Amino acid sequence: MKSKNNTPKPASKSSRSILSIAVSTLILLLIFALGILLGDRGVLNGAIFNPRGNLDLQTSNEIYGILSKSFDGELNSNNLQHGSASGITNATGDRYTRYLNPEQANTTRQRSQGVSIGIGIEVGVKNGQLVVIAPISGSPAKEAGIQPGDIITKIDNVAVRDMTEQQASAAIRGSAGSNVDLKIMRGQEEKNFSITRRPFVIPSVEAKIDSNNIGILKINTFDDNTGRLSRAEVEKFINSRVKGIVLDMQDNPGGSVIAARDVLSLWVPENTIIMTEKRNSKVIRTYSTKGKPIAKDIPTVVTLDSGSASASELVAGALRDLKDIQIVGEQSFGKGSVQELRTLSNGGMLIFTVSRWFTPDGHSIDGTGITPDQKVNDQNQSSSATLDFAVNYLIKNTR
């Protein structure tokens, strides 16, 4: 704060002392909480974290002590708290481990219910570049023409070359009604987009029956509603006696493992292992199907593209391994790690990598993705071209 004559008002020694103690305490609590949250997990990006050990905070306290006495500016305790939490997660070296402040955490919770505010894109770092994994169906980014594989070079005229995924995502986020300017490279062509942030509903599942009596089950994301909605749509397909199903997961950036399991349970017999999690090469958890596989005898084809990641890759990989279902389209993104979400006492959220996942046959797709059985090289990156190919392939091979 500044006084009316614009002369900075010096903080009193007592107030600086109280602030120093408060921030130091917050940092200690964050470190302690992180140790409890990790518990017996004990591993972050391959480095052992001993929750019983002590983290030397002398340097952090020394830095804060100097700043609190001599820094030419205002020190905000909330910003310092969130900054220290982000510093811990960034220091793991794992791009998927991050801290979300309360506002960001609330946005994440809303998205799990199918509602979001922003422009609606998932981004990731690939080969040192910030890449659009997928624009979300029905989002401002999708409507503006953003495509999977677009390379973002600037956000609001700020170069992204030194940004982490978390910093880039934070820069893209904002309040409804505000704009964000993106400069991207698409092949050799540079494009500029000015996109207005707004609330939008993420349609987890969309479905239709085409003129060939093929059921198209389009899954845009794996959230809390995906399993229930997918089963309801497949039941409609069965009642309509469809000849086959195209499970379309193009531009699907992933989501909940449980939702992926529920979708797989439509095709795969109950109690079949569909994913194995490993940490340091040791199996720590398996996931098995649950519920009646009502689509198990219906000919099915899966579509993927470069915007298909995480849970969508899990579903495709398991269907290939367990049901020999053909995959059509492009190489998928290649996210083969598992994250857990923990709500923190301040209302924020810790998202951290706990394992790597493997398909039923033991394949890891991390960093490589899934190679389709039938490649569709569409220069216009049109999802409809891949969908048409999948429908025709299904018709030809189910006569």
Whether 392 and 376 have beta carbons less than 8 Å apart is answered as no
Whether 297 and 272 have beta carbons less than 8 Å apart is answered as no
SS3 142: helix
pLDDT digits (tens, 9 = 90+) for 39-90: 333 322 222 334 445 667 788 888 888 998 999 988 888 888 888 888 889 8
Cβ-proximal residues to 377 (8 Å cutoff; 6+ apart), any chain: 330
Amino acid symbol at 169: S
Query: What tokens appear for 244 in the block?
Result: 């086959």
Query: What integer pLDDT is reported at residue 53 of this predicted model?
Result: 54
Cβ-proximal residues to 380 (8 Å cutoff; 6+ apart), any chain: none
User: Per residue in 316-337, is it b (16+ CB within 10 Å) or e — as a string?
Assistant: bbbbbbbbebbbbbbbbbbbbb
* Angle between helix 257-264 and 311-323 (nearest 10): 30
Query: What integer pLDDT is reported at residue 321 of this predicted model?
Result: 98
Query: Per-residue DSSP letters for 24-80?
Result: HHHHHHHHHHHHHHHGGG-EETTEE--TTS----HHHHHHHHHHHHH-SSPPPHHHH
- Cα angle 214, 311, 398 (rounded to 5 degrees) comes to 25
Sketch out the chain's domains with CATH numbers. Answer: 13-93 (no CATH), 115-200 (2.30.42.10), 202-396 (3.90.226.10)
Place of tokens 């001599």: 70
Q: 373-376 — which CB contacts under 8 Å span 24+ positions?
A: 373/320, 373/326, 373/327, 373/328, 374/326, 374/327, 374/328, 374/329, 375/329, 375/330, 376/328, 376/329, 376/330
Q: 99-104 — which CB contacts under 8 Å span 24+ positions?
A: 99/348, 99/349, 99/350, 99/351, 100/348, 100/349, 100/350, 100/351, 101/348, 102/346, 102/347, 102/348, 104/170, 104/173, 104/348, 104/349
Nearest to 257 by CA among 245, 269, 274: 274
Whether 114 and 223 have beta carbons less than 8 Å apart is answered as yes
Whether 166 and 108 have beta carbons less than 8 Å apart is answered as no
Query: What integer pLDDT is reported at residue 382 of this predicted model?
Result: 57
Query: What tokens appear for 273 in the block?
Result: 């292992």
Place of tokens 């209302």: 347
Query: What integer pLDDT is reported at residue 19 of this predicted model?
Result: 42
- Catalytic positions are 310, 321, 335
Looking only at the bridges linking them, the beta strands covering 326-329 and 374-375 are parallel
Tally of helices (H runs) and strands (E runs) in the chain: 10, 21
**Cβ neighbour number for residue 32 with a 10 Å cutoff:** 12
List the pLDDT tens digit at each of the 399 positions of the chain. Answer: 333 344 344 444 444 444 444 444 444 334 333 333 333 333 222 223 344 456 677 888 888 889 989 999 888 888 888 888 888 898 898 988 999 999 888 878 877 666 678 999 888 888 888 999 888 878 999 999 999 889 999 999 999 987 877 788 889 988 889 999 999 999 999 999 999 999 888 789 999 999 999 999 999 999 889 999 999 999 999 999 999 999 999 989 999 999 999 999 999 999 999 999 999 999 999 999 999 999 999 999 999 998 899 999 999 999 999 999 999 999 999 999 999 999 999 999 999 999 999 999 999 999 999 999 999 865 545 568 899 999 999 999 876
SS3 259: helix
Query: Using CA atoms, how far apart are residues 118 and 172, in angstroms rounded to an integer?
Result: 8
Query: What tokens appear for 58 in the block?
Result: 């002398």
Query: What integer pLDDT is reported at residue 357 of this predicted model?
Result: 97
Query: What integer pLDDT is reported at residue 81 of this predicted model?
Result: 80
